[in-house]
Structure 1
Amino acid sequence: MAEIPVTAVRRARRRAPVRLPGPIDAGLITVGRLTTLAIASVRYLVTDLVRGRFPWREFLLQAWFVTSVSLLPAILVAIPFGVIVAINVGSLAQQVGASSFVGAVNGLGVIREGAPVVTALLLAGAAGSAICSDLGSRTIREEIDAMRVMGISPVRRLVAPRVAALVVVGVLLCSIVAMTGVLAGYFFNVYVQHGTPGTYLNSFTDFATAGDFVVAEIKAAVFGFLAAIVAAHKGLNARGGPKGVADAVNQCVVLSFLLLFSTNILITQAYLLISPPAVV
C-alpha cells in the first residue's frame, strides 16, 4: 500500500475546520440577504417603471392571485374582530359611565390596529406562504438557475412584480378591513347593545382623523413589502426537495409574523411621538 506523503498530511492538519454559523451569525446573514433583496427589488421596480419595461402582466396576475386568496378571509376575519372590540368596549364603557365614547374607541381601535394587524396576518399567512411555495418549487426544479444561466434576473422577473402586487393589494385590503370592522362594530353596538346611532357616529367623527387612516395605510404598504421580501427570500433559498419547500414556507410565515408585529410597534410608537393624541 502506498504511503501518504508527509506534506499532504501536514496540509490537512493546517486546514481550518469547517465551522457552522451560530444563531447570531445566521441571523445577521439573513438580515443582510433580506436587505440586499429589498434594495434590488426597489431598484428594479423604479428603473423598469421609468424605462417602461415593467412586467405589468405578471404584476396583474399576482395582484389578482393575492386578492383571490385574501379578500374573502379578510372580510370574514374583520367582522368578528369588530364585534369583539365592540363587546369589550361597550361593556367597559357601561361600567365606567362613558357610553358616549364607544364609537370613538371602537372605530380608532379598528382603524389604527385592527385593520393593519388583520392585513398583516393575511398577507403573511395566505399570500406570503403561496409566494414562498411557488418560488421554492421553481428553485428545487432548477428553474431559477436556468433563468440566471440565460441572463434573466429572477429578482426583476419574479420578485419585483410580487412585491408591487403585495404592496398595492395590502393597501386596498386594509381599507376594506377597516370599513368592514367599523360597520360591524356599529351594527352590533346599535342593534345588540342598544346604543344610540347618533352618539356612536358623533364620538367617532370627533376623535378619528384622516391621519389615523393614513398611518394604517402606511402600515399596510410596509407590511406588504416586508411579507413579499421574506417570502421571496425563503423561496429562492429553498433546498432539499419538497421537504425543503415545506420548511421554507414554515420559516417564511413565522419570520413574517415576527417582523410584521415588530414593525407595527415601531410605526405606532413613532406616530404617537410625532402626533401625540390631543387632550380633551
Structure 2
Amino acid sequence: MSASALRYLVSGIVRGEFQYKEFISQAWFVVGVAVVPTLLVAVPFGVIISIQIGSLAQQVGATSFIGAANGLGVIRQGAPIVVALLLAGAVGSAICADLGARTIREEIDALEVLGISPIQRLVVPRILATMLVGMLLCGVVAFAGVLTGFLFNVLAQGGTPGSYIASFAAFAQPADLVLAEVKSAIFGVLVALVACYKGLNAKGGPKGVADAVNATVVLSVVLLFAVNVVVTQIYSALVPQRLG
C-alpha cells in the first residue's frame, strides 16, 4: 500500500489528477481533531520538563544551563513525541474509524467496481494531510513548550530571563528544529499509513472497526517510538553538536 500510495502521489501530481479537494478537507479535519488536544498537552508538558530539569540543575549547581536543557529537551524530543502520541491517538483513530466504516458498508468495494482506486482517492490525500498538519503541530508544541518553560522558570523558580535565553541560544541550533520537523513528518506518514491500512482491511462489522482502531493506536505508538530512536541516533551521529 505504501508503494501504491507513492506511485499515485507522483502520477497524480504529474498528470494533474491529485485529489486537492479531498486533501484540503482532510487537512482541515485533522486540524479540528488535533489542535485543541495539542495545546492542552503542550503547556503542562513544558511545565513538567521545567520542574524536573530545574530541580536537577539546582542539585548539581548548574542553574545557568536550565534554558539550554529545557529548550533542547522540548524541541528535540518533547515536541515530536507529543505530536506522535496525538497523531496516533486522535488522528489515526479517526482516520481508521472513517475508512473502516466505509469498508464494512461496502463503499470501498463500490469504488473499486467503478474503477476508482481507494488508495488514490482516499489514502494519498490523508497521508499528505497528516504529514503537513503534523509538521505544523510540532512548531506549535515547540513554541508553547519553550515559552511555558521560560515563564515557569522565571516566575516560579526564580530564574533570570537573561541567563535562560543566553544558555538556550548558546547550545540550540537550527538543525534541532529541522530534526523535530522531520520527525513529525515521518510520524504523520506512518500514522496515516497504519490507520488507512487497518481501516481498509477492517472485517466483522462494527466490532471489527473497533478492533482496527485499537490496533491502529497501539501499533502506531510502538512504531513511532522505535522510529524516534533510530532518527535520533542518526541525527546524533551526523550532526555536530554545539558546545556553547
TM-score tier (shorter): over 0.9
Q: Quick check: 1:172 aligned with 2:126? A: no
CA distance in 2, matches of 1:209, 1:197: 19
Partner residue in 2 for 1:38: 2
Alpha-carbon deviation of 1:130? Answer: 0.3
Greater RCO, CA 8 A, separation 6+: 2
Q: Quick check: 1:260 aligned with 2:224? A: yes
Q: How many residues align?
A: 244
CA distance in 2, matches of 1:222, 1:53: 24
Alpha-carbon deviation of 1:277? Answer: 2.6
**Aligned letter for 2:190?**
L
Alignment of 1:50-199 (within 5 A): 50-199=14-163
| Structure 1: runs of 5+ lacking an equivalent | 1-36
Percent identity between matched residues is: 61
Alignment of 1:163-242 (within 5 A): 163-242=127-206
Partner residue in 1 for 2:13: 49
Q: Deviations over 1:44-79 (max 9, x none)?
A: 111111222211111011000100110111011010
Alpha-carbon deviation of 1:279? Answer: 4.3
- Which of 1 and 2 has greater Rg? 1
Out of 207, 212, 215, the residue aligned to residue 248 of structure 1 is: 212
CA distance in 2, matches of 1:49, 1:117: 31
CA distance in 1, matches of 2:87, 2:236: 25
CA distance in 2, matches of 1:47, 1:200: 49
| Structure 2: runs of 5+ lacking an equivalent | none
- RMSD of aligned C-alpha atoms? 0.8
Q: Deviations over 1:145-200 (max 9, x none)?
A: 11111100000000000001001000000000000000000000000001000000
Calculate the TM-score normalised by the size of structure 2. 0.98
Calculate the TM-score normalised by the size of structure 1. 0.86
- The runs of at least 4 consecutive aligned structure 1 residues that moved more than 3 Å come to none
CA distance in 2, matches of 1:47, 1:208: 40
Q: Quick check: 1:269 aligned with 2:238? A: no
